[in-house]
Structure 1
Amino acid sequence: MNAAITSTGQREFHSGEQEQSLSLDFLHRYLLGNYRELYAATLALDVNDHNAVLIATNLLTTAAEADPARRRAEGRLIARRLALLPPPRVYGLFRALRRARVNNRRTRAIMRDWLAARPDLAFDAVKYRGAVKDVVRHAHLRPGGELGPFLFAPRGKAAYATPILETWRRAHYEQAALYRLPYTVAEGFAAKHRIARATFLDRIAPQLTRLERLRLQESARGLKADAVRADLTTMPLTRLASYVLSLSLDERAHRRTELTAALRAAARRAAGGQAGRWGSVVAVLDDSFSTYGSGHKRRRPLAVALACHFLLEALAREYTPLWLSGRSDALLVHPYGATPLGERVLDGLDRRPERLVIVSDGWDNAPPGLAGEVLRIWRTRLDPHRACAVVHLNPVYDAADFDVRRLAPTVPTAGIRDAENLVALVELARFADGRTGLPELRAHLDRRVEEFLGEDT
């Protein structure tokens, strides 16, 4: 579970892409072969999109190894998870199954039902035309209306009755039409018509999705395309934290009021009904140099720590953040220095909180192992009755250990990718400290599966 939450098979600060991919692939194959039921159940957890696709692919590829009842249960989990995934991920999964020649009846049914549930398949046909065509071929489908001719002979018709298909046709020779298409499609037409980038961004702005606006905002600002402005108060918390960290320190200081208000609004949404109910909380937050991550996942560990900071502030009645660097201004944090986790954990425990939450990649190196010793002595001698709940949330998968790196056997550790999942992960972490066993884990997963599928308990 920790691997499926944190790892994307990409390079991390302490391990390369190949090492990450091989380690993750081994885990998937091991769980699939030995604990197939539990493996499928992880689709109901907050696993990242990369691992959700891998799980679905492996289950569909090995369908012959499961009995009919198990295949039906897996099919429901896969269908529900696919409904929650971004469309490009699902189309990528379907194309991978086509390349692997996986074409059993259940796979075709999943493809058919997913396409049938799409709110606007004509829109998909324009935005993901090659993928939709591959899926239709592989699942032996016959799209109705004008979709068939559009997919397989798009330039053969003089005009389309479906508005978006006709807009796509006109965009080949009429510049005004391209501004009614999705951004990713219109961008290609803009290049074909040699439209200035600033002009294109200004006029395509109404078609941009929320995340496209966030991604393009800074480049549009440089081009003075003022129409491309993201409403930061509606952004997801971790995504917003990544955006904030992508700005220079001067820009963050200049926009302090706007950025802080947006982060706190996102944190309140993520906290929901738990806001203010966590009592006194101390957070030890890692902003050491290793939180830079890698070129593939730039500043991702630090973004998770920053998002957790604002979420814990919203969850706690009384909150104290302790950044490893000693900084007190969360908005200006940046990856720098060693990882003196032991010292900061001591500072946190000294305040006697009800909860101590550690957000770190676990590479305690100043001095090495101090945090583990502090936590061991605290749990076994100073607080054996667990008056203070300690949990370690780790955003980085350790390929060598097939898990996230832990600080101490006595402290539960859970992988985290998005701060929005923090509350659920704190509950899940209790399965990692040895006080609960497989029956409890199965019961927890059964409950999560029922909730995920929308069944009555």
Structure 2
Amino acid sequence: METYADLIECEDVLLFANAAITSTGQREFHSAAGEQRLSLAFLHDYIHGNYPDLYAATLALDINDHNAALIIANLLKRGAGLPGAGDARLIAWRLARMSPPRVYRLFQELRRAGVNNRRTRAIIRDWLAARPDLAFDAVKYRSALKSAVRHAHLRPEGELGDFLFAPFRRARYEAPLLEAWRRAHYDKNALYELPYTVAEGFAARHGISRAVFLERVAPRLTKLERLRLTGAAERDGVRTEADLAAMPLVRLASYVLSLAPDVRARRRAELVAALRAAAARAAGARAGTWGDVAAVLDDSFSSFGSPVKRRRPLAVALACHYLLRALAGSYRGLWLSGRSDPLQARPTGPTPLGRRIIDALEGRPSLLVIVSDGWDNAPPGLAGEVLRVWRRKLDPAGEVGIVHLNPVYDAEQIEVRRLATVVPTAGIRDAEDLPALVELARFAEGRTGLAELRAYLEDRAARR
């Protein structure tokens, strides 16, 4: 028999997990960056102070890198909560999944905060030892790597040590990247052997035109750099072909939404094929196994997001549309605007969630997924009332599964905004996490409790 305290703990952990999935401390449509950071900092302090074991275990969930870095920093900063061996393994696993710039920023934050305990030094040492090419890091993240090495009391020997602390001591380096960096100071051709972000600085120093630089550096661009530079390169008359289908689904959706409507129409076959291929890859073996699925997708004006997260909520909805289509045996997607062509989605108009939920439930699908920031306003509160009546009067047995996925953290309410207490809400950032989030949402329905949630988190952590 679970106590009231157990129920509160379960609710608190789910609330934190949703926040850690969605919020990046940046400005959203309804809240400023300062509000987001303050609200998020309170949640981290509250969960870490009250549930330290579960706080560390949330690293095993699909939380975003911003919150993963905050969790790791808090675990290492506070001596009383110094992670044990199991947590240290989980931290190492999470650091391996994070982008190198994010990890180096975390190490720099630990150095500024004066966190230099034995566990911290060991974590930095092991992460650096696992890097596939420290010469690459030395060129691309030289100051950050040097800071991490000093903070962990490491003494790199040979060329790497010389490059970090006395780069011009050697007349020549054996490592190709280090030697290319040295030659790029006086040889224009050498800069094209360097990573794009490093080569860009040398190109400006040598006065090389943007068009010439992009054309010659194109073979060294990563997938994401190709995607990010496609528009700018085409304006300079340079083609940087990107393998769109290989992109993460939400990032690809963001790229599609950044294109002008006429460009989307002209490239329809290419873009739709890429979105479907990315969705099929994300669905994997689950493709076509979810039965009859309906989705209500938010393309109201608030799906614009903010200037720093431009069209992010809409991109999540578009990505979920294609992933649900791949997962479902039969699928019906309903956009709030009534738009029938998802490729031409744009943020516009009010948020009539209640009406579209009625339309979706008319067909009694086996699963209804609602992707929205939850600001139901046409009329206000209709969605919650529709869901309440449906669950309590028309479908008390729960034959139709309903899940609300919210890509936006509500700083004022300190949670992702819910539509109704009778329907579980989970935060979402990347569409690839959708199947796991639908699984996690069952804990918010009240059908499972703290023991099951703890077992779920422990299982996820053990598999990392």
Same fold (TM over 0.5): yes
1:392-431 counterparts in 2 under 5 A? 392-431=404-443
1:55-204 counterparts in 2 under 5 A? 55-62=71-78, 64-66=79-81, 70-204=83-217
1:275 alignment counterpart? 287
Letter in 2 for 1:18: G
1:377-388 counterparts in 2 under 5 A? 377-388=389-400
Letter in 1 for 2:172: A
Letter in 2 for 1:146: E
TM-superposition CA deviations, 1:171-209 (whole Å, max 9, x none):
000000000000000000000000000100000011110
TM-superposed CA distance for 1:71, in Å, is 2.0
Letter in 2 for 1:160: Y
Match of 1:54 among 70, 93, 97: 70
8 Å contact kept, 1:364–1:370: yes
TM-score when scaled to structure 1? 0.97
TM-superposed CA distance for 1:159, in Å, is 1.2
Gaps of 5+ in 2: 1-16
8 Å contact kept, 1:286–1:360: yes
Counterparts of 2:132 and 2:288, CA distance in 1: 38
8 Å contact kept, 1:59–1:74: no
Counterparts of 2:120 and 2:245, CA distance in 1: 40
Letter in 2 for 1:36: P
Counterparts of 1:196 and 1:189, CA distance in 2: 12
TM-superposed CA distance for 1:382, in Å, is 0.4
Counterparts of 2:421 and 2:157, CA distance in 1: 59
Gaps of 5+ in 1: 453-457
Counterparts of 1:233 and 1:286, CA distance in 2: 24
1:337 and 2:349 correspond? yes
Letter in 1 for 2:412: A
Bigger CA drift: 437-446 or 295-304? 437-446
Counterparts of 2:426 and 2:174, CA distance in 1: 53
Counterparts of 1:98 and 1:296, CA distance in 2: 28
TM-superposed CA distance for 1:156, in Å, is 2.1
Counterparts of 2:245 and 2:103, CA distance in 1: 28
Match of 1:30 among 46, 55, 76: 46
Determine helix, strand or coil for the equivalent of 2:272.
helix
Counterparts of 1:92 and 1:266, CA distance in 2: 30
Determine helix, strand or coil for the equivalent of 2:310.
coil
Counterparts of 1:436 and 1:396, CA distance in 2: 25
TM-superposed CA distance for 1:144, in Å, is 2.0
Determine helix, strand or coil for the equivalent of 1:179.
helix
1:283-294 counterparts in 2 under 5 A? 283-294=295-306
1:288-307 counterparts in 2 under 5 A? 288-307=300-319
TM-superposition CA deviations, 1:327-362 (whole Å, max 9, x none):
000000100000000000000000110110000000
1:7 and 2:23 correspond? yes
TM-superposition CA deviations, 1:144-170 (whole Å, max 9, x none):
221111101112221112111111000
2:248 alignment counterpart? 236
2:366 alignment counterpart? 354
TM-superposition CA deviations, 1:346-387 (whole Å, max 9, x none):
000001101100000000000000000000000001000111
Match of 2:58 among 29, 42, 65: 42
1:455 alignment counterpart? none
Determine helix, strand or coil for the equivalent of 2:458.
helix
Counterparts of 1:343 and 1:164, CA distance in 2: 59
Determine helix, strand or coil for the equivalent of 1:400.
coil
8 Å contact kept, 1:283–1:357: yes
Counterparts of 2:243 and 2:95, CA distance in 1: 28
Aligned length: 448
1:450 and 2:459 correspond? no
Counterparts of 2:173 and 2:443, CA distance in 1: 57
Counterparts of 1:101 and 1:339, CA distance in 2: 48
TM-superposition CA deviations, 1:21-62 (whole Å, max 9, x none):
000000001111000111000100100010110000000101
8 Å contact kept, 1:232–1:262: yes
Counterparts of 1:225 and 1:324, CA distance in 2: 38
Letter in 1 for 2:80: E
Counterparts of 2:182 and 2:81, CA distance in 1: 46
TM-score when scaled to structure 2? 0.96
Identity score, percent: 69
1:206 and 2:219 correspond? yes
Letter in 1 for 2:99: P
TM-superposed CA distance for 1:236, in Å, is 1.1
TM-superposition CA deviations, 1:64-100 (whole Å, max 9, x none):
2137xx5222211111100111100110000100000
Counterparts of 1:436 and 1:294, CA distance in 2: 36
Counterparts of 2:404 and 2:38, CA distance in 1: 25
1:217 alignment counterpart? 230
2:14 alignment counterpart? none
Q: CA RMSD in A?
A: 0.8
Letter in 2 for 1:218: G
Letter in 2 for 1:65: A
